[in-house]
Every structure is written in C-alpha cells, then in structure tokens.
Amino acid sequence: MNASAILFAVLALLPLPALAQGFAGLGTESEAYAPVRPGTPITFPDDHGPHPGHRIEWWYITANLTDADGAPLGVQWTLFRQANAPDDAGEGWESQQYWMGHAAVTTADAHHHAERLGRGGVGQAGARAAPFEAWIDDWSFESAGEGWSPLRLRAKGADFAYDLTLSTDAPMVLQGDGGYSRKSDRGQASYYVSQPFFTVSGTVTLDGAAREVRGRGWMDREWSSQPLAPDQTGWDWFSLHLESGAKVMLFRLRSDDRPPYVAGNWIDPDGTSTPLRPDEIGMEPLATAEVHGRTVPVDWRLRIRDLDLTARALNRQSWNGTSFPYWEGPIEIDGTEGGIGYLEMTGYAPGE
C-alpha cells in the first residue's frame, strides 16, 4: 500500500545518508523518472519484476497465522527498491539501485524485527519477474514451482526466522482505479496491485523454538516515482480478511493543514475490486498506547459501507525499530463482522 510514503520517509531518514541524499532532490528531479499515469495496463508476470525506471517500489507481504496451539501471530516481509538516479545505467557497484529488507514476527507478547540493506548491480539484492524471485541476502520471496504460485518466503533475524509457503489460485487484485492508486488530491499516485487471497503454511522459529503455523497472507506490490504531498506527515493503513471472505484495504494519509486523505478498496471473495468512496469509509482511533515514546492509536473503529467494526492490535508494541521506525502488526476485527488483518502506522513523532 502506502509504502510509497514509507520508502520516502524511510530513506529520507536513514542514518546512511547516501540513500537520503538520493532523495534530497526528489521534488525537482521526479520528472526524470518514469511517470505514473491512470489507465496504464498492468500485466503479469512482467509486473512481478522490478520497475527500475520508477524511483520507488516494494514487495510487501503480511500474514495472519496461528500455531498448533491456536496462538495467533503475524509475519511481515518487505523488500524496498529505490533508484538514486533516473536513467540508471550503472553496472556493478555503479548501479544506483538500492535495496532494503524489513522482516518481523509478532506474537501477543513479543515483536521481533530485522533489517537488511544492499546495493543492486552485484547480486546481493534484486528481483526478477520470471522465474519470480525478490531477494536481499538470505531473505527471499520466490516461486517454488512452475508457475508464480506457490511461493516460498524466508527471512531471518537475530532471534527469529521463518520459512513459509504461500499459495493461491486467485488472480492479482488491482487497487485504486484499475491499479492507479491516488495518494492525494494533487496528483500524487502509485501503481498498486495486491494478492490478498494467499493461504500460508510453514515454520516460524522464535528464540530457537520452531512452530508449525498456518493462516492467511496478503501481498502488496506498489511502484511509483511521485512522493506524497509535502504536507502529508504519515498514514494509517489497514488490510482486512473478513469472515465473509471479502477483503478490505483502507488508508488514511494524515496532513498538517488539511483533513486526512482517505481511500480504500472493497474486494469481493471472487476478487472483484471496487474503490470505496470517501463517504463509505470511517476511521476513528478508539485507544492509544505509549510505544517507544510515541502515542500511537492501537484500537480503531472502522466503518466501511454498512459495516461497523472494531480493530484491536494483537500486540500494542508492534514496533519496527528499523532505520525509519514505524508500527506494523496483526489486528483482530470485531463488530458487525469478525476478521483478522494488519495495521501499519507511520509518522507518529516521539512526544506526540
């Protein structure tokens, strides 16, 4: 989803200023990168691969799982790509493609996360459309058979690891308007497609103990060249697996001086994706928690069309203390309909 903003912010604040530097001239140079235009067809398998002409891109997987004892847990795997120069023709170390991986495992009482950085051009990190693979170091998301699905998802941190299989027969889902996802009223947008129908099984190892897990997975693919509007400070993003089999994607981009920009898509169990009108969406924090010195809304009231839902964090301290820190964790849905999902929140400054 809005990882466009994530990446922007992440890289801008990265303590490795080389990356940040690439973004210093973002506003002025973005015209030199490939544009995002409505009506552009999205085709697979090509669009599973990287789009180096666009400045930013990511492969984003979240999964709501349960172990053999029925205990819920969440898994996140993200690979970001950023081009530091338009028309990047560099080879080897001269390549200006930079990669960053984030991985996390969340249980009700613990949150583990890790980060990897790497440069394109030498093979340490990258992605290709077919046979599909996206990787950084020993973390990878790759086709495990003849077709795109099933896929194998692996990552490892100091105190966690996972090795999961994701499979689905469902086609990819286009978010926004045919894959064109607006991020503001002023033209900022990205290409955005999802695969919310994964079934997931495999092993999650926490502190040396392996446990068998199964559950649902959601993949987002997004690429863009245009950053958020300058006044947009952060966002709250939801992905919901409802009991009815429908899926919902919602986001709210917060601004200093305007009302939030709210958008979302309703995805029927058969994969039909319909943009939600702003008046069909209500997002309202119910409770906050102190997380790493920030006040973060961890319980929400969500109104989607005629549904009135409550979303609660499985673990209120789902904090990714990565180069650019943000909140990302599994949620449980109650109300007029039950469900599970993932919540991502960025831009909550310390002391706020």
Partner 1 sequence: MTRARHALAALLSHWRRKPLQLVALLGGLMIATALWSGVQALNAQARDAYDRAARTLGGDAVPSYALPGGERFGQDAFVALRRAGWAVSPVLEGSIRVGERRVRVIGIEPLTVPAQARMTGAASGPVDGTLFEGFMAPPWRAFAHPETVAALAGEADLPPLTAQGDLTPDTLLVDIGAAQALLGAPGQVSRLLLDPDAPAPTVALEVATDVPLARAETEAQGDLDRLTRSFHLNLTAFGLLAFLVGLFIVYSAIALAFEQRLPVMRTLRALGISARMLTGVLLAELLTLSLLAGIAGVAGGYLIASALMPDVAASLGGLYGAEVPGTLSLRPAWWASGVAISVGGALAAAAYSLAKTYRMPPLASARRHAWRAAQGTWLRAQGALAVALLLAAAIFMNCTTGLVAGFAGLAALLLGAALALPPALALILRAGQALARRPLAQWFWADAQQQLSGLSLALMALLLALGANIGVGTMVNGFRDTFTNWLDQRLVAEVYYNARSDAQDAEIAAWLGTRDDVTALLPTLTAEERMDGLPVGIVGFRDHPTYRGSWPMIDIAPNAFDRVAAGTAAFASEQLANRFGLSVGQEMTVGGWRGTVAGIYPDYGNPKGQVSLAYDTVADAFPDARRGGTGLRVVPGATAAVVAALGARFDLGDNLIDQKSLKAYSTEVFEDTFAVTAALNVLTMGVAGFALFMSLLTLSEMRLPQLAPLWAAGITRRGLAGLEMAKTLAMALFTALLAIPLGLAVAWCLVAVVNVQAFGWRLPFHLFPMQWAALVLLAVATAGLAALWPIDSLRRMPPVRLVRVFTDER
With respect to partner 1, which residue has the nearer C-beta, 119 or 182?
119
Closest C-alpha to 162, from 214, 232, 84 = 214
Q: Which helix (H) or strand (E) holds 22?
A: helix 17-24
The whole-angstrom separation of Cα 267 and Cα 219 is 14
With respect to partner 1, which residue has the nearer C-beta, 38 or 92?
92
Residues that bind partner 1 (CB under 8 A): 15-18, 20-21, 84-85, 90, 92-94, 96, 98, 117-119, 122-124, 135, 137-138, 156-158
Least gap, CB of 228 to partner 1 (angstroms):
20
The whole-angstrom separation of Cα 333 and Cα 340 is 5
Least gap, CB of 18 to partner 1 (angstroms):
4
With respect to partner 1, which residue has the nearer C-beta, 202 or 297?
202
Residue with tokens 């390549």: 95
The one-letter amino acid code at 342 reads Y
Identify whether the C-beta of residue 180 lies closer than 8 Å to the C-beta of residue 155.
no
Buried b / exposed e across 55-71, counting CB within 10 Å, b at 16+? Answer: bbbbbbbbbbbebeeee
Cα-based distances in Å from 278 to 255, 304, 310: 16, 10, 19
With respect to partner 1, which residue has the nearer C-beta, 18 or 287?
18
With respect to partner 1, which residue has the nearer C-beta, 16 or 32?
16
Least gap, CB of 44 to partner 1 (angstroms):
26
